[in-house]
Amino acid sequence: MPTVEFPYQTIETLTFSPKAQPLPASLRPVYRIALIVLVLRTNSHGNAASMLKLQFFNWLLKSSSLQELIETSLRDQRIFTLELIHLDPMVNLALKYAFADELISVTHTAKYKLTEKGVQFTERILGDPDGILARERQLLTRIGRQVSEVRLRSSLR
């Protein structure tokens, strides 16, 4: 096969034109904010949760194998053991935006709590019959408040 020499000497300039790329929904802050308020409303006592619990549910929503493990453990009333939880910096960013938009507040025990505005926002998400975040809502509703802060902390090795 013959090789072809590329004439580098004849090129004076190279121009690159960046093209807009859509951001996947899972990386959009509003998606994460919606998940956080849903977790606070459907999976937390008093609409408040620790960072650990919010990170746990964020990780849970990403992994179907973990979802099966947790749901089976909860159904059979077995103890589940987690070796690690992947901490996602996008959760922290979404919390900052949710706090800035007054959807959540921070309690004196360093928990994140829904404000009245956050409760109204969550109720709009839950009341959507067309199913915005339908898969996530179904999972969070099935799990409910079975994963407490104490159970979550004791499940980490």
Instruction: Give the model confidence (pLDDT) of 106-119 as tens digits.
Output: 999 999 999 999 99
Alpha carbons 147 and 154: distance in angstroms, whole number: 11
Instruction: Evaluate if residue 128 carries a pLDDT over 80.
Output: yes
Return the pLDDT at 111: 96
- Sequence-distant (6+) residues with CB within 8 A of 76 are none
Instruction: Evaluate if residue 13 carries a pLDDT over 90.
Output: no
Residue 72 or 8, more confident: 72
Return the pLDDT at 156: 64
Under 8 Å between Cβ of 115 and 104: yes
Alpha carbons 79 and 70: distance in angstroms, whole number: 9
Fold adopted by 26-155? Arc Repressor Mutant, subunit A (1.10.10)
Rounded mean pLDDT, 23-45:
90
71-124 pLDDT, tens digit per residue, is 888 888 777 666 667 788 999 999 999 999 999 999 999 999 999 999 999 999
Tell me, letter by letter, the H, E, C secondary structure of the chain. Answer: CCCCCCCHHHCCCCCCCCCCCCCCHHHCHHHHHHHHHHHHHHCCHHHEECHHHHHHHHHHHHCHHHHHHHHHHHHCCCCCCECCCCCCHHHHHHHHHHHHCCCEEECCCCCEEECHHHHHHHHHHHCCCCCCCHHHHHHHHHHCCCCCHHHHHHHEC
